[in-house]
Amino acid sequence: MKPITRIVWILSLISLFTDMASEMLYPIMPIYLKSIGFSIILIGVLEGFAEAIAGLSKGYFGKLSDNSGRRAPFVRWGYMLSAISKPMMAIFVFPVWIFWARTIDRIGKGLRTGARDAMLSDEATTETKGTVFGFHRSMDTLGAVLGPLLALIYLHYNPEQYKLLCFIAFAPGIFAVILSFFLKDKKTTESKIKRASFFVSFAYWKNSPLEYKKLLIGLLAFALFNSSDTFLLLRAKQSGLSDSGVIMIYIFYNLVYALFAFPIGIIADKIGLKNIFIAGLLLFAATYFGMSINTNYYLYFILFFVYGIYAAATEGIAKAWISNITDKKNTATAIGTYAGVQSIFALLASSFAGLIWFYFGASTTMFISGLATALVALYIFVVIPKPSKV
């Protein structure tokens, strides 16, 4: 059986168009929010609140999906909520409504994440998980290349016309929703939907396999030092890159990520998910060590190239690994728990990075993140066993 099935193609195209819509707005969102009266503090509160909601909801909706035995409705409604949030950002400009629009977008992400990844897992065998998740990440990240490029072209001809861009971003988002109607659940014996706590992520931890717990400890320790990519872009900006140059290097990073995620997934199936993941962490550490000492902005393209390969070797691979070491009936819960708690830890990571940057400077921030990640790689190498299937 071919690893890239019809369902994998549909899910990957849906992610491509959704990410295209989101990334059209990502580079200009802080500027747009400031233009309608948001302060820097309010922007931070908005994003923090939205990500916390998304984080907690991933495990919750993943558990509901597992309990019901259904995936497609969660995927469909998740992408639909994210799509309709785009024009809402332009129509409702009062802070409370902007908060509502961002919350809808993040709930949509929480609603679909576990179910979508469980669908991907169901389409793969143990020997093809890296290939399937790698292909999906490649297509998803291709949207992160096309979205900012379209935004740059639009803003070149329509400077500061941010509201119209929100409506334009609705188009690829709604196309993704249309594609989601081609998804069908496999015929299974559905279990009755049981109630699930919104904090199901913490409940699942108690009953999860020991290997999952060991892996999750390593993944979350890494998340605690994996701050927002914004800090890397700020570091590049410090070295003399223009605003356009910063956006272009961000696009370049996503392009590298998109090009390498699929082939790296194939390689991971051959030599082991654990080996590839550890290599990815070491590339992350190398990037941050380089960022801590580099002052030549030309070298940032090399560092962001390495950073793109790191992302290709970790994000999809981690989910593939989790799906291989957990019970199939709990796949959405396990991945949703990881993705949910990871997003909360990522918020903490960015807060820590901001404080270290403020008091000790950018170089210290980058060095600490690199060192901590190298230690996490050592932990995973020593502590987590390597079953033949990963």
**Per-residue pLDDT, 53:** 73
Written out in words, the top-level CATH class of the domain with range 6-183+206-383 is mainly alpha
**Per-residue pLDDT, 388:** 45
232-261 per-position pLDDT tens digit = 887 887 777 776 777 788 889 999 999 999
**Per-residue pLDDT, 58:** 80
330-360 per-position pLDDT tens digit = 888 888 888 878 878 887 888 888 888 888 8
40-93 per-position pLDDT tens digit = 566 656 666 676 777 778 877 888 888 888 899 999 999 999 999 888 877 876
Spell out the SS3 assignment of the chain.
Answer: CCCCCHHHHHHHHHHHHHHHHHHHHCCCHHHHHHHCCCCHHHHHHHHHHHHHHHHHHHHHHHHHHHHHCCCHHHHHHHHHHHHHHHHHHHHCCCHHHHHHHHHHHHHHHHHHHHHHHHHHHHCCCHHHHHHHHHHHHHHHHHHHHHHHHHHHHHHHHCCCCHHHHHHHHHHHHHHHHHHHCCCCCCCCCCCCCCCCCCCHHHHHHHHCCHHHHHHHHHHHHHHCCCCCHHHHHHHHHHCCCCHHHHHHHHHHHHHHHHHHHHHHHHHHHHHCHHHHHHHHHHHHHHHHHHHHHCCCCCHHHHHHHHHHHHHHCCHHHHHHHHHHHCCHHHHHHHHHHHHHHHHHHHHHHHHHHHHHHHHHCHHHHHHHHHHHHHHHHHHHHHHCCCCCCC
pTM of this structure? 0.83
Q: What is the mean pLDDT of each run of 10 residues along the chain (390 residues)?
A: 87 94 77 69 65 74 83 93 87 76 85 90 88 93 90 82 86 94 74 52 75 92 87 80 77 92 94 94 95 80 94 92 88 84 82 85 91 96 70
